[in-house]
A and B are shown apart, each in its own frame.
Chain A
């Protein structure tokens, strides 16, 4: 009886340890073909049209018609694309895509799979720049060095081609410019927030979610 109880305790401890070990280990991203298809079909109307035109040119009218008719179902996850369709879209088409379209596909992939950090910071209207500056630098630096997950790079080997690398570099530069643009405009917004807090005589509470292409910072703003 005692042996049975000890055995049960050992088994419970083993499974408990195994559960916590699994829970604490970060999950390795293994994107499914259907998930990648959803991302691809999230393209804006113009590049999506270009993609289907290319599909028609390479695989014929009937295959293109089927793809056109089914793309909403692929996007919603209602229907899963078969291996051949996935290969056509993700292995073959990138070889014949225009640089512009490749950039747009890459933009969608980066948007979906690059992790955007969330930060929180308390600032005063008279010291926000000094307080925010180090964090902004960190966010931009992290964003600039971010890479698509290894599983995706392994699956989509065309990402290692020269033109895909250039596309990625152009997108990173654009995002940096957008971030800088946002920060330039923040000055004016803080002046308005300062005015608002001043006029509400301590009764106002302001939070600003600063959205940067590489992440977001929640600012809890106070006035001295």
Chain B
């Protein structure tokens, strides 16, 4: 699992000759002491901001998980009680938006069975005509 995870998150690669870190290092040499301090502070602030964003995202993730569980329960209940239903739901998750559609239609099942029956019947008729 860990290996796969490493695959998904790109490692630092040499696609571009100068990385963001190189730019920071090079430019820092040209800044005065006050500016350099401001840069260090901003970099630290960004880390805090990202940590806060992560916490918010985790909260969204937990809530979305609960809502999805509820959706499954509702779909199962509907499954037992009615033959036709369609549920559309959207969840704000940690990484984006998940849209779910759950659809059960008796009409489709009947249509499918009828189509198969007609096909079998036609095949039989053709066979009988031939022999």
User: Which B68-104 residues have C-beta < 8 A from chain A?
Assistant: 68, 71-72, 75-76, 93-104
CA distance A221 to B38 in the complex (A): 45
CA distance A163 to B41 in the complex (A): 13
B65/A192 in contact, CB under 8 A:
yes
B27/A182 in contact, CB under 8 A:
no
B98/A207 in contact, CB under 8 A:
yes
| A154-168 vs B, Cβ < 8 Å mask (1 yes, 0 no) | 000000001101111
B45/A100 in contact, CB under 8 A:
yes
B61/A100 in contact, CB under 8 A:
no
A163/B98 in contact, CB under 8 A:
no
Given A99-B42, A192-B65, A216-B96, A183 and B8 contact (CB-CB distance below 8 Å): yes
User: Which B23-48 residues have C-beta < 8 A from chain A?
Assistant: 23-24, 27-28, 30-31, 35, 38-39, 41-43, 45-46
Contact of B39 among A137, A166, A177, A183 (CB under 8 A): A166
Give the most central of B39, B42, B101, B103: most A CB within 10 Å: B42
Q: Using Cβ atoms and an 8 Å threshold, which residues of chain A touch B97? A: 208-209, 211
Which listed segment binds B: A34-42, A52-60, A81-89, A126-134?
A: A126-134
By size class, the interface of chain A is 35 or more
| B47-76 vs A, Cβ < 8 Å mask (1 yes, 0 no) | 001100110011001001100100110011
Residue A105 at the B interface, CB < 8 A? Answer: no
Residue A122 at the B interface, CB < 8 A? Answer: no
Give the nearest-CB partner of B41 in chain A: A100
Residue A24 at the B interface, CB < 8 A? Answer: no
A166/B27 in contact, CB under 8 A:
yes
Which residues of A does B touch, CB under 8 Å?
98-100, 103, 129-130, 132-133, 136-137, 140-141, 144-145, 162-163, 165-174, 176-178, 180-189, 192-193, 195-196, 199-200, 203-211, 216
Which residues of B does A touch, CB under 8 Å?
4-5, 7-10, 13, 15-16, 20-21, 23-24, 27-28, 30-31, 35, 38-39, 41-43, 45-46, 49-50, 53-54, 57-58, 61, 64-65, 68, 71-72, 75-76, 93-104
What are 22 A-B interface contacts by the 8 Å CB criterion?
A129-B7, A162-B27, A162-B31, A163-B27, A163-B39, A165-B23, A166-B31, A168-B23, A172-B20, A173-B20, A174-B46, A174-B49, A176-B20, A182-B94, A185-B95, A188-B61, A196-B72, A203-B102, A206-B99, A208-B93, A208-B98, A216-B96
Q: Can you list the 9 inter-chain pairs with the closest CB atoms, starting with the nearest?
A: A99-B38, A169-B23, A169-B20, A211-B96, A185-B94, A166-B27, A137-B10, A209-B96, A162-B27
